[in-house]
Amino acid sequence: MADRLLFTKAGRARYISHLDLMRTFQRAFARAKISIKHTEGFNPHPFVSIALPLSVGYSSQCEILEFGLLEGTSYEEVPARLTAAMPEGITVHDCYPAERKLKELCYVNYIMTFDYPEGRPQESEPAMAALLSRERMAVRKKSNKAKAGFTEVDIIPLIRSWCIECQSDTMMVDMVTSAQNPGLNPELVRAAFCAEYPEYAPDFVTFHRRDVLDGEGKTFR
């Protein structure tokens, strides 16, 4: 049976790429003197796998990493020892046995915050609501398999629920989206909004992954 870590990725750590993050964990396990399983073959290396790779620049409070903990270290010891070996912004909160299959991870709760430093246009909220209420919204998505380099995807069926909260200078969109097969990157929603309503395009947008959920909408661990 595999083991899992629950960790936060925030601050400057948001800009660590997926591959570099896995290397960071591999080195951190070694520095913390926590023995974990290695791959087999002529060039064995520590095995770690992140459930849902996070886009560069996104923050998260619910990242899940799979690995194999060997004898000599208890689950309770791992979070503090590993966090001490991590760069600023990565905090390990829990270590536990993986009792559920990753295919049960069905949805992701994202928070998109649209920032308008000079004041939010009043029509930005109804515009976003109109976009998310459409029956269909086809957007282009990069694809290495397609000859054209992209494919079209309808994002509306991939959004399970959403709500909007606004302040004078921000618009926050709280969405639950499909996690895999296929998953929905909230960047596609931002791009669709700015393409449809360029007059309401924000100065910048931040993305935060708040939770990962199973098919019933309950927290997945």
Task: Tell me what pLDDT residue 142 has.
Answer: 74
Token pair, residue 36, equals: 């974990």
Predicted local distance difference test score (pLDDT) of residue 146: 67
Q: What are phi and psi of 94, to 5 degrees?
A: -155, 155
Q: What is the pTM of this model?
A: 0.92
Across the strands, what pairs with 65?
5, 50
Report the C-alpha gap between 20 and 22 in whole angstroms: 5
Q: Which tokens belong to 67?
A: 């690995």
Q: How many residues are given for the chain?
A: 221
Please state which architecture CATH assigns to domain 104-213: 2-Layer Sandwich (3.30)
b/e map of 174-204 (b: 16 or more CB within 10 Å)?
bbbbbbeeeebbbbbbbbbbeeebeebbbee
Smallest Cα–Cα separation from 103: which of 212, 5, 180? 180
How is the chain split into domains, by residue range? 3-99, 104-213
pLDDT tens sequence across 104-133: 999 999 999 999 999 999 999 999 999 999
User: Which of 52, 48, 61 lies closest to 182, judged by CA?
Assistant: 52
Distance CA(78)–CA(75), nearest Å, equals: 6
pLDDT tens-digit readout, 172-193: 999 999 999 899 999 999 999 9
Same topology, domains 3-99 and 104-213? Answer is: yes
Say yes or no: domain 3-99 is CATH 3.30.70.580.
yes
Per-residue pLDDT of the chain (221 residues; tens, 9 = 90+): 799 999 999 999 999 999 999 999 999 999 999 999 988 877 888 889 999 999 999 999 999 999 999 988 999 999 999 999 999 999 999 999 999 999 999 999 999 999 999 999 999 999 999 999 999 999 887 776 767 677 888 999 999 999 999 999 999 999 999 999 899 999 999 999 999 999 999 999 999 999 999 999 999 99
The beta strand positions in 55-202, using DSSP E, are 59-67, 90-97, 107-115, 138-142, 150-154, 159-166, 170-178
Instruction: Provide φ and ψ at 191, rounded to 5°.
Output: -65, -40
pLDDT at residue 41 in the model: 77
